[in-house]
């Protein structure tokens, strides 16, 4: 057996968690000296070096630290001590765990926590830190299909957008941001990372750089959203103190906006409109997809717009050109300056058709799963 290299303990930054058992992550790290915790640090470093996204590395670290805390409470501090029965005990612990409000962990959360363990032990085995992989045959919970829980109607979206109606710089910024989210279906972090060069007003497209999964994509920008963005850039943004000349959206203090900041602006508009729904920015992303589906958009175009490389429940993804996507967007998205009397010509002369119900449901289920991830306050 290859001799296991020594892993010197490193200072790790504390990160919060919804688990009571992770209270140790607030303040000094009492688990940092444990051998398993040091292997977790080495594994997360490997994830970062091999190209995993920063959010993914952070989520995996938290999931693994949850297991380290659970194992430490039972006197297990060395990865070599972990067996499949122990992992099955941990799986049962996750199933019976109850949060402070008494609710259980949703199956998706349980799966994510266990998948992090499967990846970790696979890495540890391949690197010869342990002799065998105890998680190789661990079965993860089945995540049942579900319909989306909260869908905004076109009227509700209009009410939210209309709440940013002032003529001051902040109101114009918020209206442009809301219109952009609804028109493009961008994730909140993708919208926060946009630069002034991300918008092409001539072609009316948005360049999304390094979206989820590190993938770039180009999405159509509706005519109404483009008009509000131009108004914001020429009338409002110069009035704001700008500390970053490249950022598209800035706060009242001139700093580039963040993902959580996007969520607060959406929640504010929802509250003013009297609409109570769990979630924020993702509701507009969900509404964008749902309303285009109802308008007859092909599921493939919705996938391309939202940046889904594939859907686990379907295998219908095909490459779609930006020009085709713009045509479908203009024909099916309800937010445009003027409603056309005639539907624009479709690619290959085809008319809009209702999407396959199974594929449409699969898409909406994926969006709902994304909403659970979007609720993570650290993102």
Q: Considering only 62-71, 171-180, 324-333, which range has the smallest mean pLDDT? A: 324-333
pLDDT band at 30 (very low <50, low <70, confident <90, very high): low
d(CA 184, CA 209): 14
Please name which of 163, 141, 288 lies closest in space to residue 222, comparing C-alpha atoms. Answer: 288
The token pair that represents 261 in the structure block: 């900041």
Secondary structure percentages of the chain, helix, strand, coil, to 5: 50, 5, 45
Question: What does the longest C-alpha to C-alpha distance in the chain come to?
Answer: 73
d(CA 377, CA 252): 21
Q: Considering only 68-82, 319-333, 348-362, which range has the smallest mean pLDDT? A: 348-362
The token pair that represents 96 in the structure block: 């019976």
pLDDT digits (tens, 9 = 90+) for 242-300: 777 889 999 988 899 999 999 999 999 999 999 988 878 888 988 888 888 888 887 77
* Active site positions, annotated: 187, 212, 282, 285, 308, 317
Q: What pLDDT is stored for residue 276 in this prediction?
A: 86
Strand partners, 217: 208
327, 295 Cβ separation under 8 angstroms: no
pLDDT band at 45 (very low <50, low <70, confident <90, very high): very high
Q: What pLDDT is stored for residue 295 in this prediction?
A: 83
DSSP code of residue 206? E
- In order of their start, the domains of the chain are 20-126 (1.10.150), 154-374 (1.10.443.10)
Please, what is the average pLDDT of the chain? 79
273, 156 Cβ separation under 8 angstroms: yes
Contacts of 308 by beta carbon, 8 Å cutoff, 6+ apart: 317, 363, 366
Alpha helices in 74-215 (DSSP H): 84-96, 107-126, 154-162, 169-184, 188-192
d(CA 169, CA 31): 48
d(CA 354, CA 218): 24
pLDDT band at 184 (very low <50, low <70, confident <90, very high): very high
The token pair that represents 107 in the structure block: 């199956």
Strand partners, 45: none
Measure Cα distances from 88 to 30, 105, 137, 141, 205 in Å: 26, 16, 10, 11, 49
């Amino acid at each position: 057996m290859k001799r296991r290299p020594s892993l010197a303990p490193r200072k790790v930054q504390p990160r919060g968690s919804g688990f009571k058992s992770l209270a140790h992550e607030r303040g000094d790290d009492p688990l940092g000296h444990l051998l398993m915790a040091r292997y977790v640090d080495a594994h997360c470093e490997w994830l970062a070096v091999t190209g995993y996204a920063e959010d993914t590395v952070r989520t995996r670290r938290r999931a693994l630290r949850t297991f380290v805390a659970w194992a430490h409470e039972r006197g297990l501090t060395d990865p070599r001590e972990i067996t499949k029965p122990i992992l099955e005990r941990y799986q049962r612990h996750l199933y019976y765990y109850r949060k402070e409000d008494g609710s259980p962990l949703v199956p998706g959360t349980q799966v994510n926590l266990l998948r992090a363990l499967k990846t970790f032990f696979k890495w540890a085995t391949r690197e010869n830190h342990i002799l065998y992989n105890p998680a190789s045959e661990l079965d993860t919970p089945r995540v049942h299909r579900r319909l989306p829980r909260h869908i905004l109607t076109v009227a509700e979206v209009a009410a939210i957008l209309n709440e940013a109606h002032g003529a001051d710089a902040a109101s114009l910024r918020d209206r442009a941001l809301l219109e952009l989210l609804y028109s493009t279906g961008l994730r909140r972090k993708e919208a926060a990372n946009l630069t002034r060069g991300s918008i092409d007003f001539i072609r009316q497209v948005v360049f999304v750089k390094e979206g989820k999964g590190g993938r770039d994509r180009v999405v159509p920008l509706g005519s109404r959203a483009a008009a509000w963005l131009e108004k914001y850039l020429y009338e409002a943004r110069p009035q704001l103190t700008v500390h970053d000349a490249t950022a598209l959206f800035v706060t009242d203090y001139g700093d580039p906006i963040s993902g959580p900041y996007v969520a607060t602006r959406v929640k504010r508009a929802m509250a003013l409109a009297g609409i109570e729904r769990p979630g924020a920015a993702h509701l507009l992303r969900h509404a964008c997809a749902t309303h285009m589906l109802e308008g007859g958009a092909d599921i493939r175009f919705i996938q391309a717009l939202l940046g889904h490389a594939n859907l686990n429940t379907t295998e219908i993804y095909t490459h779609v050109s930006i020009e085709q996507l713009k045509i479908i967007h203009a024909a099916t998205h309800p937010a445009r300056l003027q409603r056309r009397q005639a539907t624009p010509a479709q690619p290959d002369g085809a008319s809009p058709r209702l999407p396959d119900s199974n594929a449409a449901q699969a898409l909406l289920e994926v969006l709902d799963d994304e909403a659970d991830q979007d609720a993570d306050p650290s993102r």
